């Protein structure tokens, strides 16, 4: 996949819908492989609950272990100017992040200025629904071992102590999902520029349902879910010592249905929410003359 800077500075139209979709398709691989990595470890629910680690409280941090990892990792990334890129959004409150120590890169102004950041929703569904689902196998294996050794207690059955390893991967998964979902802004800008007159009436008289219907492409979503299942089945394959693939569902590295449901019930709906939120903000600050001009333009 091209780097962020290349995405916006290579020759060719950065708002070509085909090109944006190719980036979304490539992000499927990143998300599936990082979920496979996370699935190696147990659920470790302590990581996602605030107040579980006295050491953090003593250091004055009131968030969860994972929120601590996010803040520390994103603080370095902020100093390395990651969040000056139009396709990168932090989970940590930007006001709590340091300024870049590198001079900024001049990205072309492709998106209309906006403050849309749905990372709180991503963090919520990831920790509440996705992690428990994809770590079930590792947790079952662990609890059987612990029960055999007479260890009891719910958390202990879901806790393998790999808090740091699990959270490093959690941050990678969250960053990939965040990039994917917020690419909805580029999709939306592309669709808006193709037919501004179709969208403007439903922006001036805000109508989420009408805007959602305009940006929704059922055939694209159907193909995505079909492709995703095939990719997840392939990438989840385990192999015998001689390299022969093990065609046993119980031996897969990831819950394939869980990956498909992640996209169907969370990633796609939230991407479309971002697309509609972006459209609703698309005319802010514009004069009537500018809007009238957009109404008559085909591809601005
Ligand atoms: C991202 C797009 O917009 C919508 C969201 C999609 C998604 O999140 O995968 C797919 C198709 C559309 O319903 C697109 O048109 O490619």
Is 3 a domain residue? no
Is 256 a domain residue? yes
252 Cβ closer than 6 Å to some ligand 1 atom: no
Q: What is the pLDDT of residue 273?
A: 98
What is the total count of domains within the chain? 1
Q: What is the pLDDT of residue 148?
A: 86
What is the interface pTM, i.e. ipTM, of the complex? 0.99
pLDDT class of 2 with cuts at 50, 70, 90: very low
> Could you tell me which of 61, 65, 70 has the C-alpha nearest to residue 45?
65
- CATH label of the domain that carries residue 112: 1.10.590.10
Is 10 a domain residue? no
Say if CB 92 and CB 71 are below 8 A apart: yes
Predicted confidence (pLDDT) at residue 298 exceeds the cutoff of 80: no
Which residue carries 């093990």 as its tokens?
246
187 Cβ closer than 6 Å to some ligand 1 atom: yes
Q: How far is the CA of 70 from the centre of ligand 1 (A)?
A: 28
Is 8 a domain residue? no
| Residue range 225-236, pLDDT digits in tens | 999 999 999 999
Q: How far is the CA of 45 from the centre of ligand 1 (A)?
A: 32
Least confident of 24-28, 78-82, 152-156: 152-156
pTM as predicted:
0.94
Predicted confidence (pLDDT) at residue 167 exceeds the cutoff of 90: yes
Q: What is the pLDDT of residue 63?
A: 97
Q: Which atom of ligand 1 is nearest to the CA of 191?
A: 15
Residue to substitute in 17, 191, 272, 277 for testing ligand 1 pocket (most ligand atoms within 8 angstroms of CB): 272
Q: How far apart are CA 91 and CA 249, in angstroms?
A: 35
Nearest CA to ligand 1 atom 4: 216
What's the token pair of residue 69? Answer: 């990892």
Predicted confidence (pLDDT) at residue 172 exceeds the cutoff of 50: yes
> 246 lies in which domain range?
17-296
Q: How far apart are CA 57 and CA 34, in angstroms?
A: 29
Extended beta strands in 138-242, E state: 238-239
Mean pLDDT of 25-43: 97
Report the residue count for the chain: 300
Task: Identify which has the larger pLDDT, 265 or 140.
Answer: 265
Phi and psi, residue 3, nearest 5°: -75, 170
Neighbours of 104 (CB within 10 A): 9
What is the maximum span of the chain, computed from C-alpha positions, in angstroms?
A: 75
Is 4 a domain residue? no
215 Cβ closer than 6 Å to some ligand 1 atom: yes
Is 230 a domain residue? yes
Is 11 a domain residue? no
Q: Give the per-residue SS3 of 13-71.
A: CCCCHHHHHHHHHHHHHHHHHHHHHHCCCCCCHHHHCCCCCHHHHHCCCCCCHHHHHHH
Is 74 a domain residue? yes
| Residue range 196-249, pLDDT digits in tens | 999 999 999 999 999 999 999 999 999 999 999 999 999 999 999 999 999 898
Q: How far is CA 192 from CA 1, 82, 232, in A?
A: 25, 27, 33
Identify the bridge partners of residue 246 per DSSP, sorted by sequence position: 238
């Amino acid at each position: 996949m091209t780097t962020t800077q290349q995405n916006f500075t290579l020759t060719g139209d950065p708002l070509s819908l085909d090109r944006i979709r190719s980036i979304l398709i490539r992000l499927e691989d990143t998300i599936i492989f990082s979920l496979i990595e996370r699935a190696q470890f147990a659920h470790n629910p302590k990581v996602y609950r605030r107040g579980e680690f006295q050491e953090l409280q003593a250091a004055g941090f009131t968030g969860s272990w994972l929120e601590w990892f996010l803040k520390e990792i994103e603080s370095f990334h902020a100093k390395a100017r990651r969040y000056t890129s139009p396709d990168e959004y932090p989970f940590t409150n930007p006001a709590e992040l340091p300024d870049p120590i590198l001079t900024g890169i001049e990205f072309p102004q492709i998106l209309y200025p906006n403050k849309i950041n749905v990372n709180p929703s991503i963090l919520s569904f990831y920790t509440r629904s996705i992690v428990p689902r994809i770590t079930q196998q590792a947790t079952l294996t662990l609890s059987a071992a612990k029960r055999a050794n007479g260890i009891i207690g719910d958390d202990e059955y879901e806790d393998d102590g790999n808090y740091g390893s699990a959270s490093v991967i959690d941050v990678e998964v969250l960053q990939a999902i965040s990039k994917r979902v917020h690419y909805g802004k580029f999709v939306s800008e592309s669709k808006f520029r193709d037919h501004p007159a179709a969208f403007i009436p439903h922006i001036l008289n805000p109508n989420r349902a009408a805007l959602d219907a305009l940006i929704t492409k059922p055939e694209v979503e159907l193909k995505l879910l079909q492709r995703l299942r095939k990719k997840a089945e392939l990438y989840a394959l385990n192999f015998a010592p001689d390299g022969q693939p093990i065609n046993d569902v119980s031996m897969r590295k990831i819950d394939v249905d869980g990956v498909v449901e992640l996209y169907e019930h969370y990633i796609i709906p939230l991407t479309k929410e971002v697309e509609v939120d972006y459209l609703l903000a698309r005319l802010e600050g514009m004069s009537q003359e500018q809007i009238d001009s957009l109404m008559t333009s085909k591809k601005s």
